[in-house]
Amino acid sequence: MGFSGELRDCAAAIWTASLEHPFVRGIGDGTLPLERFRFYIRQDYVFLIEFSRVLALAAARAADLDAMSRYASLLDATLNGEMELHRGYCERLGIAREELEATVAAPTTHAYTRHLLAVAYAGTLGEITASLIPCQAGYAEIGRELATRGEPASQPLFGEWIRMYASPETQEIATWACGLLDRLAAGAGAEERDRMAEIFVMSSRFEYMFWEMAWNMEQWPI
């Protein structure tokens, strides 16, 4: 088992809680209220903007051309692929482009993206990679698991979401990121590996909190 697998095992309870969260289960069986999905899509769009900044910083920190190229490709795919899909979802859900672009980050979205950006500005490439994998591999795992349960016939939009994250492209990204983390961990000292583990668990917690935020349609209290 590589280092990424060890970290996945350390955060197993958190990842299981995310997979079994009522928001995720509601996507899988088609029972999630559309209003909650609308809230999620808008917050995820805001998240992806900051996620893209982290990918750009990861590409700049890469010490070899392969990692630099892959992170640059992921940046392009996020900005011009995944975010465009979100715009398409919003159009079909009755959310105008102006409304989407004006979305204010909810408290958890703000906190999660600040965590990622702090790691990206101050951390090593290994630490940045560790911070991103709970999102990249977590969505791949959720998409794969929901696909095995069957798409909800009652809600085709959720079926499209499941197919996107169960796709071979998403699975390959997760596999690549985990392989990169294994390689970087092999050349890192004990202190850096400890930081990677701490960051990985924190991002895993934020992934769970993001589902919780969307389920509760979290707002700023004041």
- Residue with structure tokens 């392969």? 66
pLDDT of residue 28: 98
The catalytic position among 90, 135, 141, 151 is: 135
pLDDT of residue 183: 96
pLDDT of residue 102: 95
Residue (of 155, 161, 126) closest to 143 by Cα position: 161
The catalytic position among 127, 141, 151, 207 is: 207
**CA geometry: angle 127, 128, 132, nearest 5 deg:** 115
Question: Hey, what amino acid is at 200?
Answer: F
The three-class DSSP label of residue 123 is: coil
Known catalytic residue at 90: no
| DSSP letter, residue 60 | H
Known catalytic residue at 135: yes
Q: Give dist(CA 80, CA 172) in Å, integer.
A: 18
DSSP 157-213: HHHHHHHHHHSHHHHHHHHHHHHHHHHHHHTS-HHHHHHHHHHHHHHHHHHHHHHHH
Judge contact between 141 and 19, C-beta under 8 A. yes
Q: What secondary structure, in 3-state letters, does 65-80 show?
A: HHHHHHHHHHHHHHHH
pLDDT of residue 2: 95
169-188: per-residue pLDDT in tens? 999 999 999 999 999 999 99
pLDDT of residue 85: 85
Q: Determine whether 77 is exposed, middle or buried from the number of CB atoms within 10 Å of its CB (0-12, 13-18, 19+).
A: middle
pLDDT at 68 > cutoff 90: yes
Mean pLDDT of 144-148: 98
pLDDT of residue 1: 75
Domains of the chain: 3-216 (1.20.910.10)
On average, the pLDDT of the chain sits at 96
